[in-house]
Structure formats: structure tokens, C-alpha cells
A = this chain, B = another copy of it.
Amino acid sequence: MRFEDCLCFQLACLSRSLSRTYRDRIAPHGLTQAQFFMLIALYEEDGAPPSRLSQKTRLDRPTVTGLLDRLERDGWVERRSDPADRRSLRVFLTAKAWRHQESLCAVYEEVNGLFMEKFSPEEWQAFRAFLDRLRDDH
């Protein structure tokens, strides 16, 4: 099989390409694409522990630790200890993050809309089914 036809190669290219679409729009906010996605996850689940964020974003825990480090450094989130379990933390969005919510979620919806509008609902369903079929058991 020719290299250009390799599915893994094509998916990797496409994934980087889509990430760039977000990146270009959120760079003015001082966020990277991965940080942006973590914030979107937190807008849905403010106060989640890192383990939950790792599960939700399907990133390893050391990766989440690093992301949270930089988000905390830049004042987007705050780690608070969990009184119920001293091993655990809970991650909370700061006032700054809530101030940017509308603007960031608008970018999120806008870019998702750019992708969605290229397909009919039936095509989307079929596409999603293809992705799901590839997801498991290698």
C-alpha cells in the first residue's frame, strides 16, 4: 500500500489540520489547542479531579498534569485539595476562565460548525460509525 494511502497517516494529517483551525482562532487568547480543549471539558465539569479529566480527554495522567500546570500558571484554573480524599484534587475554573467562557465557547461552536456543515446529518452518522468501528481492539 502506498504511503499516501495509509489510513493512520491520513488521520494524523487531518487531525493536525483540524487542530490548526482552532489554534488560529484561539492563539489571540493565549491558549493552545490542547489547553482550549481542556477548558471546554472543564466548562462541562468544573471541579472534576485530574483522573476524571484524563478519562474525559483520553490523555495520560502525566499529560493532564502538565496541561493543568500551564493552565494554572496562566491563571485559567485552580487546583484545590479534596477534603474527602487527601490523595485527590479538584480542578476549578477561575474568574478569568468564566469571563472568557462566552467567547471561547463561541469559537468552539463556530469551528465545529465549519466541520459539520460539510455533511448532511445522514453523512455525519455514517462518518461517526466509521470512526467508532476503528476505535476498538487493535
Tell me the A residues contacting B by CB distance below 8 Å.
1-4, 6-22, 24, 37, 40-41, 44, 56-58, 108-109, 111-112, 114-116, 118-119, 123, 126-128, 130-131, 133-135, 138
In the assembly, what is the distance between CA of A6 and CA of B138, in Å? 23
Contacts of A114 in B (CB 8 A): 138
In the assembly, what is the distance between CA of A105 and CA of B14, in Å? 24
Task: Choose among B15, B24, B41 the residue that contacts A3 (Cβ–Cβ < 8 A).
Answer: B41
Across the interface, do A8 and B133 meet the contact criterion of CB distance under 8 Å? Answer: no
Q: A3-B37, A21-B138, A130-B130 are in contact. Are A11 and B9 (CB under 8 A)?
A: no
In the assembly, what is the distance between CA of A115 and CA of B6, in Å? 10
Across the interface, do B11 and A131 meet the contact criterion of CB distance under 8 Å? Answer: yes
| A contact face: mostly helix, strand, loop, or mixed | helix
Q: How many copies of the shown chain assemble into the complex?
A: 2
Across the interface, do A115 and B134 meet the contact criterion of CB distance under 8 Å? Answer: yes
Across the interface, do B2 and A44 meet the contact criterion of CB distance under 8 Å? Answer: yes
Across the interface, do B11 and A18 meet the contact criterion of CB distance under 8 Å? Answer: yes
Residue of B whose beta carbon sits closest to that of A126: B126
Task: Choose among B19, B24, B131 the residue that contacts A14 (Cβ–Cβ < 8 A).
Answer: B131
7 interchain pairs (CB within 8 A)? A8-B15, A8-B22, A11-B11, A17-B134, A118-B134, A119-B130, A123-B130
Across the interface, do B119 and A6 meet the contact criterion of CB distance under 8 Å? Answer: no
